[in-house]
Amino acid sequence: MNARVLDRTLVYGGAILLAFWVLIPLYLIAISAFTPQARLFDYPKPLVPTTFSTETMQFFLEARGVIPSVINSILVALFTIAFGLALGTPAGYALARFRFRGRQAFQVIVLATKMFPIAILSIPLAVTFLQLGLYDNLIAVALVHTAMALPFIILVTGGVFVAVSHELEEAAQTLGCSRWGAFLRVALPLALPGLAAAAIFTFVISWNEVFAATILTLRTRTLPAQVLAGLGTSPLGFKFAGGLFMAMPAVAFIFLIRRYLMNLWGSR
Amino acid sequence: MAGIGIERATKIFARTTAIKGISLDIKDGEFMVLLGPSGCGKTTLLRCVAGLEHLDDGRITIGDRDVTDLAPRHRGIAMVFQSYAVFPHMTVEDNIGFGLRMHRRPKAEITRRVAEGAELLGLTSLLARYPAQLSGGQRQRVAVARALVMDAPVLLMDEPLSNLDALLRLQARADLKRLHKEVKRTTIYVTHDQVEAMSMATASR
């Protein structure tokens, strides 16, 4: 009994510690982003917001290039979702349904791409995209983001399709569907919540990604690249507002797809 | 309407030969039971007749058509799966009518035949429910109704009662027997339960 209490205390204590580790910086950024510029340098920093103002946020949103870069970011993320799901869903489906030669090797290779530090690729990537005439182009950024998100998409969609019994598709086939029709009418609708979760996570991956956008674009920058480009010279308030603005979608989406992540990671 | 002819059917999986040179003639309207221990290839044979597996050798005819290379949907079969394979994202009504919709039957006809099928299996009051809201026995009946309304000349059943408890199984067995008397579909029925086999198969063999 005592051991159990101790166990629980340790688990919850650890969880709370980790939560604070993540939440405190977010919290500090958030209150700073809503503190008027003049009060930003107050010391000691108040832990509860004393004055609330949207002045800093407004300043950030009205800064030159921010709104266009937000639009760029959203476009890139949408392209990434489209490319990623178009390529990743069939791959995940194949992994879930077919026992083909080299299946395990394929799984390992898909994951191995994640072990590759992308910085090594920067020069070859830039050169390749220049040669293709895709430099400084949102599609180019989306293609790189797709490559980065694909292992994750394949893994998730694979798990999703494993959960959809193949007998359902076979039943549909005996009832008059082609192989493709059975997929469209039965497997796909049942997989849709999981695919939506994968799409949202892909959005976050793309939204947060800064490397590809920095090396592959000059004028058509995404938001992280835009913020990074001015990081050294921009005023403190700009950084806080930018940080909060960039963290918000990720936080919101994680809350939305929490349920699916729990399924994915096997706990309830 | 349609007998089933199986000639020297052979199916080989990666390392094992699941069925080897089986020949079998099933007469029109017959209720043929395949009985045997699990793993002996009876489900494989059934799946070959359904077109879900492809024969490595031999041929299968339904009626006077050679269906060996046809897709399941072109074979004139309907199938009841061991797991029932009832579509979880559709109501009972949509489940039963699924095959008719896929065959682009007129709306009025679908409504009528779904109502008849539901009536036949006592599902009329459950038409608006989703499978998650049904008991195992009810789901089994949805699967049977879904197959029956197709009016396919051949009905294939893969251990349709094995997931029911003993009492329900007796009841369902009687129901299936009655249904077969009423609709007279040529049926292949797979089971590993000897009593089930003895009580259901057409007696004349």
Count contacts between A and B (CB, < 8 Å).
59
Q: What is the mean pLDDT of residues A77-94?
A: 94
pLDDT 10s digits, A214-250: 888 888 888 888 888 877 788 888 888 888 888 888 7
Could you tell me if A178 lies within 8 Å of chain B, comparing CB atoms? yes
Q: What is the mean pLDDT of residues A75-99?
A: 93
The interface predicted TM-score of the complex, written ipTM, equals: 0.90
Tell me if B98 and A173 make a contact (CB, 8 A cut-off).
no
Clarify whether residues A59 and A40 are in a common domain.
yes
Return the pLDDT at A260: 65
Q: Let me know if residue A159 belongs to a domain.
A: yes
How many angstroms separate the Cα of A55 from the Cα of each of A5, A30, A51?
Answer: 48, 13, 11
By Cβ distance, the residue of A174, A178, A179 closest to B50 is: A174
Q: Of B24, B9, B40, nearest to B192 (Cα)?
A: B40
CA distance to partner chain A, nearest, from residue B58 (Å): 21
| Residues of chain B found within 8 Å of residue A183, distances taken between Cβ atoms | none
pLDDT at A264 over 80: no
pLDDT class of A145 with cuts at 50, 70, 90: very high
Clarify whether residues A11 and A49 are in a common domain.
yes
**Integer Cα distance of B23 and B5 in angstroms:** 8
**Cβ neighbours for B120, distance < 8 A, ≥ 6 positions apart:** B145, B148, B179, B182
Q: A27-31, A59-63, A91-95 — which is least confidently predicted?
A: A59-63
Could you tell me if A180 lies within 8 Å of chain B, comparing CB atoms? no
CA distance to partner chain A, nearest, from residue B68 (Å): 15
Q: Let me know if residue A199 belongs to a domain.
A: yes
Highest mean pLDDT pick, A52-56, A116-120, A207-211, B48-52:
B48-52
CATH number of B1-76+152-205: 3.40.50.300
Q: A38-52, A149-163, B57-71 — which is least confidently predicted?
A: A38-52
**Per the structure block, which two tokens stand in for A156?**
């998730």
Clarify whether residues A75 and A208 are in a common domain.
yes
Clarify whether residues A90 and A191 are in a common domain.
yes
Clarify whether residues A80 and A55 are in a common domain.
no
Q: What is the mean pLDDT of residues A113-137?
A: 84
Tell me if A174 and B87 make a contact (CB, 8 A cut-off).
no
Tell me if B73 and A165 make a contact (CB, 8 A cut-off).
no
Q: Let me know if residue A127 belongs to a domain.
A: yes
| Residues of chain B found within 8 Å of residue A190, distances taken between Cβ atoms | 88-89
Q: Let me know if residue A250 belongs to a domain.
A: yes
Return the pLDDT at B205: 45
Could you tell me if A164 lies within 8 Å of chain B, comparing CB atoms? no
Clarify whether residues A119 and A244 are in a common domain.
no
Domain ranges of chain B: 1-76+152-205, 89-146
Tell me if A171 and B73 make a contact (CB, 8 A cut-off).
no
**Integer Cα distance of B168 and B87 in angstroms:** 22
Please, how many CA atoms are within 13 Å of residue A18, restricted to the half-sphere of its CB?
6
By Cβ distance, the residue of A165, A177, A179 closest to B83 is: A165
Q: Name the average pLDDT for chain A.
A: 85
Return the pLDDT at A178: 93
Q: Which residues are paired to B61 by β-bridges?
A: B5, B66
| For B53, nearest residue in chain A (alpha carbons) | A170
| Residues of chain A found within 8 Å of residue B71, distances taken between Cβ atoms | 173, 178-179
By Cβ distance, the residue of A167, A170, A175 closest to B102 is: A175
Q: A103-107, A114-118, B38-42, B124-128 — which is least confidently predicted?
A: A114-118
CA distance to partner chain A, nearest, from residue B134 (Å): 17
Return the pLDDT at A117: 80
Domain total for chain A?
Answer: 2
Clarify whether residues A113 and A201 are in a common domain.
yes
CA distance to partner chain B, nearest, from residue A173 (Å): 6
Q: Let me know if residue A39 belongs to a domain.
A: yes
Q: Let me know if residue A25 belongs to a domain.
A: yes
**Integer Cα distance of B120 and B114 in angstroms:** 10
Which stretches of chain B score pLDDT less than 70?
A: 1, 203-205
By Cβ distance, the residue of B83, B102, B146 closest to A167 is: B83
Return the pLDDT at A125: 84
Could you tell me if A172 lies within 8 Å of chain B, comparing CB atoms? yes
Tell me if A190 and B88 make a contact (CB, 8 A cut-off).
yes
Q: Let me know if residue A92 belongs to a domain.
A: yes
Q: What is the mean pLDDT of residues A157-179?
A: 92
User: The domain that contains A96 carries what CATH number?
Assistant: 1.10.3720.10
Clarify whether residues A126 and A248 are in a common domain.
no
Clarify whether residues A176 and A241 are in a common domain.
no
From chain B, which residues contact A within 8 Å (Cβ)? Answer: 50-52, 71-73, 77-79, 81-83, 85, 87-89, 98-99, 102-103, 146, 150, 156
Domain hosting A1: range is 1-63+236-254
CA distance to partner chain A, nearest, from residue B131 (Å): 13
| Residues of chain A found within 8 Å of residue B102, distances taken between Cβ atoms | 172, 175-177, 181
DSSP string, chain A: -HHHHHHHHHHHHHHHHHHHHHHHHHHHHHHHHTS-GGGTT-SSPPSS-SS--SHHHHHHHHSTTHHHHHHHHHHHHHHHHHHHHHHHHHHHHHHHH---TTHHHHHHHHHHGGGS-GGGGHHHHHHHHHHHT-TT-HHHHHHHHHHHHHHHHHHHHHHHHHTS-HHHHHHHHHTT--HHHHIIIIIHHHHHHHHHHHHHHHHHHHHH--HHHHHH-SSS--HHHHHHHTTTTS-HHHHHHHHHHHHHHHHHHHHHHHHHHHHHHT--
Dmax over Cα atoms in chain A, in whole Å?
A: 73
CA distance to partner chain A, nearest, from residue B198 (Å): 27
Tell me if B78 and A175 make a contact (CB, 8 A cut-off).
yes
Highest mean pLDDT pick, A78-82, A131-135, A140-144, B16-20:
A78-82
Clarify whether residues A71 and A59 are in a common domain.
no
pLDDT at A170 over 60: yes
Q: Let me know if residue A268 belongs to a domain.
A: no
Clarify whether residues A184 and A138 are in a common domain.
yes
Q: What is the mean pLDDT of residues A167-189?
A: 93
By Cβ distance, the residue of A168, A173, A176 closest to B52 is: A173
Return the pLDDT at A268: 36
Residue A259 neighbours by CB distance under 10 Å: 12
CA distance to partner chain B, nearest, from residue A185 (Å): 10
pLDDT at A177 over 70: yes
pLDDT class of A267 with cuts at 50, 70, 90: very low
